[in-house]
Amino acid sequence: MINDTLPIETAYDVQAIRRHFPALSREVKGKSLVYFDNAATTQKPQAVIDALVNYYSSYNANIHRGIHTLAEEATAAFESTRDAVQAFINAPSRDQIIFTSGCTEGINLVAQTWGRQNIQAGDEVIVSNMEHHSNIVPWYLVCQEKGASLKVIPIDENGELILDGFDEMLTERTKFVSVVHVSNALGTINPVKAIIEKAHKVGAKVLVDGAQSTVHMDVDVQDLDADFFVFSSHKVYGPTGVGALYGKRELLESMPPYQGGGEMIKEVYFNNITYNDLPYKFEAGTPNIADTIAFKAALEFTKGIGKEAIRQHENKLLAYATGALKEIPGLRIIGTAKNKISVISFVIENVHPQDLGILLDNRGIAVRTGHHCAQPLMDCYRIPGTTRASFAMYNTKEEVDALIAGLHKAVKLLV
């Protein structure tokens, strides 16, 4: 069924891995697809697709309340994803894993519950200059409502956070720090453990946005001592529409519910409602059952290949591509932090990213162009946007070569 055990290989066999991803074998504009938009979403392995099909074709049922066989099977599969997520980020217990629709909902949940309950006029919330809009807007909204202010950790020209600037910002007014683990636009790995330690000293709570980190790095929420951690399934080879929020128990228990509805209650009377225990208190309504079940298949698949092996492979691609890109005339890499995951953003003199994106697509190469939902970051570099290539477990050196050839050709046409 879901269990697609992979052969244990001593060497990293990227061709064998590619065969698990049906979409990778398609053609685009008559050329073999080169998929370098992995930071936006990863392709899905057959095991994930099978898990989806298998649920809908053999045990589709609503979960938790039905006593029939299908409901029991669906509930067991759904809840086993919670165990898989717990293990994936080393959370202390399964009931501290709340299923969301993705990182955006996870951040909004914390902002609207913990945030609105605890942030007062005159308080301060800190984000960084490299946040995705989804980790800016929810905090902006709470700050606006409460009369609190939003502070921004500055970055340097390499795209690294200036921690001295952060130290100066931390005061007893600091209530919350919400910071991205890995920048989607730059690839920078932020020192979140140090940030959390500093924030805790002034009594602030910290949310780590793991949208980009969880697929590339080992995440241990206990080691980080994160108060909250969010990530999305679809960036870890799983389906879209599901993600997870981890929170410390005492915080989750103290927070009011986010949305009201079925599942999140214990007893309902018109004059008195008691709420369900964790994690169900935050999971109102019928959840995204199919995608949540298939989410586990994605996590198991990734574990099966081995995160360390994947990271080594991706780092090799990053180093190779970084070297090769330097040969393109007029190209400047945006984001040159010492610690990066396999994301390369760049600009080329006198070339608009959109033109590059169109010409590369014409050669079957999928990259992302634009501001990457991080306009404040682009403003910081005084550029309207970049072209971004982001690598995953299945990308190859030959694909990087195709990108370089495509860029040479595009630059010749455009400049």
Partner 1 sequence: MQEQRTIEEIEQEIVEDFSLFDSWDDKYEYIIDLGKKLPPLEEQFKIDENKVRGCQSTVWLAADFRDGRIFYKADSDAVIVKGLISMLIRVLSGQTPDAIVTAKLNFINEIGMTSHLAQTRSNGLLAMVKQMKNYALAFKVKEAAENKM
Q: Which residues bind partner 1 (CB under 8 A)?
A: 29, 352-355, 357-359, 362, 369-371, 384-385, 409, 413-414
CA distance 80 to 296: 8
Residue 12 backbone phi and psi in degrees, to 5: -75, 110
Q: Identify which of residues 281 and 388 has a Cβ nearer to partner 1 in the complex.
A: 388
- In angstroms, give the least distance from the CB of 409 to partner 1: 8
Give the HSE-up count for residue 319: Cα atoms under 13 Å, Cβ half-sphere: 8
Q: Please choose, from the candidates 118, 185, 135, the residue with its C-alpha nearest in 3D space to the C-alpha of residue 155.
A: 185
- In angstroms, give the least distance from the CB of 404 to partner 1: 17
* Cβ(175)–Cβ(118) below 8 Å: yes
DSSP letter (8 states) at residue 264: S
- In angstroms, give the least distance from the CB of 237 to partner 1: 23
Strands 243-247 and 228-232: antiparallel
Q: Which residues are catalytic?
A: 373
Q: Identify which of residues 73 and 355 has a Cβ nearer to partner 1 in the complex.
A: 355
- In angstroms, give the least distance from the CB of 369 to partner 1: 6
Match 């005061």 to its residue by tokens: 171
CA distance 341 to 314: 8
Q: Identify which of residues 17 and 185 has a Cβ nearer to partner 1 in the complex.
A: 185
- In angstroms, give the least distance from the CB of 355 to partner 1: 5
* Cβ(386)–Cβ(369) below 8 Å: yes
β-strand partners of 236:
none
Q: Please choose, from the candidates 20, 19, 41, 37, the residue with its C-alpha nearest in 3D space to the C-alpha of residue 28.
A: 37
